[in-house]
Chain A
Amino acid sequence: MTRVPIRFYQVGSFAVGNRLLEDEDRTVQSDPQRTNSIDSGHRACQGCGEALGARYALDAAMRATNGQLAVVNATGCLEVFSTPYPETSWRIAWLHSLFGNAPAVATGVAAALRVKGRDVRVIGQAGDGGTVDIGFGALSGMFERNDDVLFICYDNEGYMNTGVQRSAATPPAARTATTDAVGPEPGNVFGQGKDLPRIAMAHDVGYVATATVADLHDLEAKVERAMSLRGARYLHILVPCPLGWGSASSDTINLARLAAESGIFPVFEAEHGVVTSVTPIRRRVRVEEYLKRQKRYAHLFGTQPRLEVIARLQALADANIARYGLVNDETTNATLED
């Protein structure tokens, strides 16, 4: 396993694109000539991580494919807020059919383009519900056949479009409309849920990666890497949801960063089932730093904090850190004290 060295541009400034860099090191987003795949004027909430993630990912894919891209979208927030008839925010070829079938539709698009002899690449995309739950069968089929599709999951850890219900990507202890913060085990229960990146790896697909909207360079590099490969590929992007998480709309990027830095959301790449690189945690934080900024975890804090629940969440983060080796000797502030 190789370790990704910490690059200069990751230190000190998190400014989008980082204009102090040479052109080739700048992000796609900093390029005024970028596609703007999903244009302004859509109906996403303020601070929507999914809108941001989709723009980053698709603009990078458009650059990587020289504009030869078709996108299939599952039903969900991203579809609803981007295409209120007769308007559309998409400046790219875009198709939506149903909630659970985006991976299969993407397979069909790829098959048609292949038979037509056109070198147009295909991305399928969905939220976590459309990926880990209702679209899971179709996604597993697409993986198993090794169809030439990059599937992107914008994971905001719940059914936000329908009013914040639990999905199989909702983390333990999180309150949703269907996992109320009451009873002996408030919020979503422990010991359930699907780890889609690892399930994707078990399919032996060529490329699996995770990313967050906090690390733009990393996300764009992974899209670029994915588009340089053929066959089934999977990218899982953590996209905080101010509405569903009960967080400030100005805190989206920060929360995505804290999710990675606490170990709650491991950021890594894998090829054919083997982890090939991880993004090390530079400044390790306790999970409380991440949790306390979100109302979906409010029941863990307050006058009678649920320390035992927080400890179980910390244990999950620690297990991720151990599993992927996210903390190394050079990492500063790597140990958690107090």
Chain B
Amino acid sequence: MLTQIEGSKAIAEAVARCRPEVVCAYPISPQTHIIEAIGAMVKRGDLARCEFINVESEYAAMSVLIGSSAAGARSYTATASQGLLFMLEAVYSAAGLGLPIVMTLANRAIGAPINIWNDHSDAMAARDTGWIQLFAESNQEAVDLHIQAFKLAEALSVPVMVCMDGFILTHAVEGVDLLDADLVDRFLPPFEPRQLLDPANPVSIGAMVGPEAFEEVKVLAHLRLLDALEEIPRVAAEFEALSGRASGGLVSGYRLENAEVAVVAMGSVLGTLKDAVDARRELGERVGVLGVSTFRPFPEAAVTDALGHVERVVVLEKAFNPGGRGVLASDVALALAGRSVTSVIAGLGGRPITRASLERTVGRAVAGTLPAMSFLDLNDAEVAAERARVGASEGVAR
């Protein structure tokens, strides 16, 4: 049954149905509505057997969950942007210790300059932490991914980050189908930790590992993350059988049949992108879309399979590595070695990505006039003027 509900509240409802035992968070926009709603549920007593802990920082939030997860409790938090960076050391630690924590990342830009609006820079900064990173296209998918995330995390003993666009999704009110609690219970069994901090069977967790074994430990974690490429579609299929809804998985194609040009993207921009592609298809252009749901582990084979017949690939993404190119573009270019992959950076710091701009971009891709790397709707004149001004004041010849 569809309920009109804000994205953040829908996430809180979904997380509550997963019966978390410890929820710990530090407030940061645009994640606040999620933790406020869960906090209220715990305070009212609606969420039985759950501890909600307000802490002094994101670093403490993730650290508390490291403790609670190691002691066998299903553990959840949410953060964004600077908060993710502030907890990053603990984010690595959680993955290194194999603790199946689930975290919502309400994607937001990273400062300076400080900016609270949406892009994917925060998720990219956590790319190498060893977490599974899933991206939601809609609030419905975000809700479904959270339920899948707990199952995935606990099956693999790997933490999972569910990325959803800040404000665009977190603060959008739209119809969402919330799975009944008994269905969630059937899908998600109680947490059985792989390793437990327990005086009845004392173990040392988090020992120091030197050069003689560190590489092997890291490779084993890498292989376990690659195992997720099998587990994610399996969990998505099981979820679909239960809910009747296809959500998540590795990648999802849209109008890729006989496509000459495909645009690869992640998150909520996929909706606008599909509209743009529909419009270009009306003009007779053979274009399609590939949505990447699983960013880490990177589903290289699935990307290659989906784009096997496509001549030109555009990667549209809300982050880049300064001095380099798009982050997702680099992954896709590696997967499609030898083919033309152009990188379009869009929506930084919440800049709107309009359907009109996307239609133009797809048109240029079809015409073959898209440069190797470009920024959508960039004010070129302003950039040029500022470079000229700074150059002149410092006496630098340009």
Contacts and interface: CB of A to CB of B under 8 A. Distances in A.
Contact of A69 (B24, B63, B199, B213): B199
Given A79-B208, A83-B208, A115-B22, A93 B66 contact: no
Contact of B208 (A70, A84, A93, A138): A84
Nearest to A108: B67
B21 A112 contact: yes
Nearest to A114: B51
Contacts of B208: 79-80, 83-85
B73 A90 contact: no
B179 interface: no
Taking each of A79, A92, A105, A108, which has the highest tally of chain B beta carbons within 10 Å of its own beta carbon?
A108
A96 interface: yes
A69 B199 CA distance: 6
Contacts of B68: 108-109, 111-112
Secondary structure at chain A's binding surface: helix, strand, loop or mixed?
mixed
B57 A68 contact: no
Nearest to B55: A141
Interface in B56-90: 56-57, 59-61, 63-73, 75, 89-90
A83 B204 contact: yes
A129 interface: no
* Size bracket of the B interface: 35 or more
A138 B22 contact: no
A105 B67 contact: yes
A160 to B, nearest CB: 16
A250 interface: no
Contacts of B199: 67-70, 92-93, 120
B304 to A, nearest CB: 38
A100 B69 CA distance: 18
B63 A108 contact: yes
A275 interface: no
B113 interface: no
A177 B51 CA distance: 44
Interface string A59-82: 000000001111011000001100
A34 to B, nearest CB: 15
A115 B60 contact: no
B197 interface: yes
A88 interface: yes
A141 B73 contact: no
Interface string B167-210: 00000000000000000000000000000011101111111111
A113 interface: yes
A95 interface: yes
B237 interface: no
B59 A111 contact: no
A101 B155 CA distance: 27
A93 B67 contact: no
Given A70-B197, A92-B199, A111-B22, A105 B53 contact: no
A105 B87 CA distance: 13
Given A101-B66, A112-B68, A96 B205 contact: yes
A108 B65 contact: yes
Interface string B289-300: 000000000000
A111 B197 contact: no
Nearest to A83: B207
A141 B56 CA distance: 6
A108 B66 contact: yes
Contacts, number: 162
Interface in B349-390: none
B207 A95 contact: no
Contacts of A92: 199, 202
A104 interface: yes
A94 B203 CA distance: 6
Interface residues of A, number: 44
B49 A115 contact: yes
B93 interface: yes
Interface string B228-260: 000000000000000000000000000000000
B160 interface: no
Contacts of A97: 63, 66-67, 90, 93, 97, 206
B63 to A, nearest CB: 4
A111 B51 contact: yes
A323 interface: no
B282 to A, nearest CB: 55
A223 interface: no
B60 A138 contact: yes
A95 B55 contact: no
Contacts of A104: 55, 59-61, 63-64, 67
A107 interface: yes
Interface centre among A84, A88, A95, A137 (most CB of B within 10 A): A95
B327 interface: no
A114 B49 CA distance: 9
A7 interface: no
A92 B197 CA distance: 9
B67 A112 contact: yes
B202 A91 contact: yes
Contacts of A70: 71, 197-199
A144 B53 CA distance: 12
Contact of B70 (A98, A109, A116, A144): A109
B50 interface: yes
18 contacts: A70-B71, A85-B207, A85-B210, A90-B204, A93-B202, A100-B89, A104-B55, A104-B61, A107-B55, A107-B64, A108-B69, A109-B197, A111-B53, A112-B71, A115-B21, A115-B49, A116-B71, A138-B59
Given A101-B59, A104-B61, A105-B64, 9 more contacts: A72-B67, A90-B204, A95-B205, A101-B89, A101-B93, A106-B67, A109-B67, A111-B67, A145-B53
Interface of B: 21-22, 24, 49-51, 53-57, 59-61, 63-73, 75, 89-90, 93, 97, 197-199, 201-210, 213
The 5 closest A-B pairs by CB, nearest first: A108-B67, A96-B206, A104-B63, A112-B71, A112-B73
